[in-house]
Chain A
Amino acid sequence: MSLWEFANPVKFMALSGKVLPWVIGLCTVTLIPGLIWGFFFTPEASNFGNSVKIIYIHVPSAMMAINIWVMMLVTSLIWVVRRHHVSVRAAKAAALIGVTMTVIALITGAIWGQPMWGTYWAWDPRLTSFLILFLFYLGYMALWAAIDNPDTAADLTSVLCIVGSVFAVLSRYAVNFWNQGLHQGASLSLDKEEHVSDVYFQPLLLCLAGFTLLFVALLLVRTRTELRLVRLHRLEVRERMKDA
């Protein structure tokens, strides 16, 4: 049995229906304890003070914002190459989650930036890149919303996502070149030197898992909705043909 079998909408609906309660359950037992741990039971950081508590929502949302775009790129490519409906519907379903994560990352970053750097907004490379990512998400969603025919919309948005990804990476380099920033280095890396210490890292890891599972749960629900919409669209067209 190959992975591609789940590209069949009927099989996908059956499987995702079974998996969904488990994902929701797992998400609940990671995200909520993770957030509570991070909020109530972590000490002050020497250099950040209590403001370090923002990390438990800022870093996971920022990570998800990028990962969701990558996921959309992969599913768009699968649609272009193999034309599986589940794939492109999943990309459409992911866009709103991605844009929410981007907004959360931007807002929490701005609020954190005020006490730390003395400004809500600086044209720091990472901030700028996220703003650009936000624009890309908006364009992608606007194109979906603007086109009536679902197959045309699927094709065009996939092309946009692929071309957009190339330009998004280009923008990242351009922005780096344009301004060196204030951001601290990676807070998540295997290199122990620049790693945040374990007291903060363990709840952060739980939050990261929680955000990821939340994304998977929402994605499954939204993709199921999208597939139902496709089916509904077909039934309605058939009804109209009969009436005529």
Chain B
Amino acid sequence: MIALLVRDLRLAMRAGGGFGLGLAFFLIVSTLVPFGVGPEAKILSRIAPGILWVGALLACLLSLDRIFQLDFEDGSLDLLATAPIPMEGIVTVKALAHWLVTGLPLTLAAPLLGMLMNLERPGHFWIFLTLLIGTPALSMIGAFGAALTVGLKRGGLLLSLLVLPLYIPTLIFGAEAATRGTAGLPASTPLLMMAGITAGSIALLPFAAAAALRVNLR
């Protein structure tokens, strides 16, 4: 399993695209929003946590179809399916690799991008914390969506349509926790709810995703 993880990470680095693309997209979204809403510092700092969350979520969405697509096309997914690792394990490792390549860099970049948006001082910490807890759920849910659509030729758009509604609870709690934390209000309730969603997704979704993969490999 660790070998699989290392292999996936190497491929992501070498192919270049997956690694930098999400970050670049995140940067562009954060740059575009002030052009759209105007440069007033007050408004920007009010909406900054929400914008950063939506930006991170979209950047995460961008690279989802790569989780299984390449391996499905060149047949290595069939090989993995016959390997002595359970399919659930493969899904989890794939999601973890996706998180390390996308979610983690986004989390690290978010506080920096927050400066572009006049994020208040405690906000940097809160956006980092909420993304750190929330992005694993995004990767796991995304892996499930990718497993559903892996057999399709043009699955990208459909994948977004399937995954975005599933992202709603995570987004609501994550952005709410970040906003409240930034404003100095108690934020532990949404934070705990989001942590619960992440834990639940990691515990249960691999089974659903593995079932979907088995159907697609049939």
Interface residues of A (CB under 8 A from B): 132, 135-136, 138-139, 142-143, 146-147, 152, 155-156, 159-160, 162-164, 167-168, 170-171, 173-175, 177-178
Query: A174 to B168, Cβ gap below 8 A?
Result: yes
Interface residues of B in 134-160 (CB under 8 A from A): 144, 148-149, 151-152, 155, 158
B-side interface residues toward A, CB under 8 Å?
Answer: 144, 148-149, 151-152, 155, 158, 161-162, 164-166, 168-169, 172-173, 176, 189-190, 193, 197, 205, 208, 211-212, 215-216, 218
Secondary structure call for the A interface: helix
Q: How far is the CB of A175 from chain B (nearest CB, A)?
A: 7
Q: Pick the contact of A146: B152, B168, B169 (CB < 8 A).
A: B152
Partner of B190, one of A142, A155, A171, A177: A177
In the complex, are the beta carbons of B168 and A142 less than 8 A apart? no
Contacts of B152 in A (CB 8 A): 146-147
Could you give 19 example pairs across A and B, Cβ below 8 Å? Answer: A146-B152, A152-B151, A152-B215, A152-B218, A155-B212, A155-B215, A159-B211, A163-B144, A163-B208, A171-B165, A171-B168, A171-B169, A171-B172, A174-B169, A174-B172, A175-B172, A177-B189, A177-B190, A177-B193
| Cα–Cα, bound, A155→B152 (Å) | 15
**B64 to chain A: closest CB distance in Å?**
14
Tell whether, in the assembled complex, residue B212 and residue A156 are in contact, meaning their CB atoms are under 8 Å apart.
yes
The CA of A12 and the CA of B169, in the complex, are separated in Å by: 39
Contact A167 to B165, CB < 8 A, known contacts A143-B158, A159-B148: yes
Given contacts A152-B215, A175-B172, A177-B172, contact A135 B164 (CB under 8 A): yes
Quick one: which of A136, A175, A177 has the most chain B CB within 10 A?
Answer: A177
* CB-defined contacts of B176 to chain A, threshold 8 Å: 177-178
Question: How far apart are B77's CB and chain A's nearest CB, in angstroms?
Answer: 15
Contact B151 A167 (CB under 8 A): no
Would you call A143 and B162 a contact (CB within 8 A)? yes
Shortest Cβ distance from residue B5 to the other chain A in the assembled complex, whole angstroms = 25
B218, A174: Cβ atoms closer than 8 Å: no
Q: Are A167 and B169 in contact (CB under 8 A)?
A: yes
CB distance from B141 to the nearest CB of A (A): 8
Residues of A within 8 A of B211 (CB): 155, 159
Determine the chain A residues whose CB is within 8 A of the CB of B151 once the complex forms. Answer: 147, 152
Would you call B216 and A156 a contact (CB within 8 A)? yes
Chain B, Cβ-Cβ closest to A169 = B169
Which residues of chain B are near A177, meaning CB under 8 Å? Answer: 172-173, 176, 189-190, 193
Q: Are A132 and B165 in contact (CB under 8 A)?
A: yes
**Bound complex: CA A170 to CA B212 (Å):** 22
Q: Do A167 and B172 touch across chains, with their CB atoms under 8 A apart?
A: no
A167–B197 Cα distance when bound, in Å, is 9
Shortest distance in angstroms between B109's beta carbon and chain A's nearest beta carbon? 26
User: Which of B162, B190, B216: most chain A Cβ within 10 A?
Assistant: B162
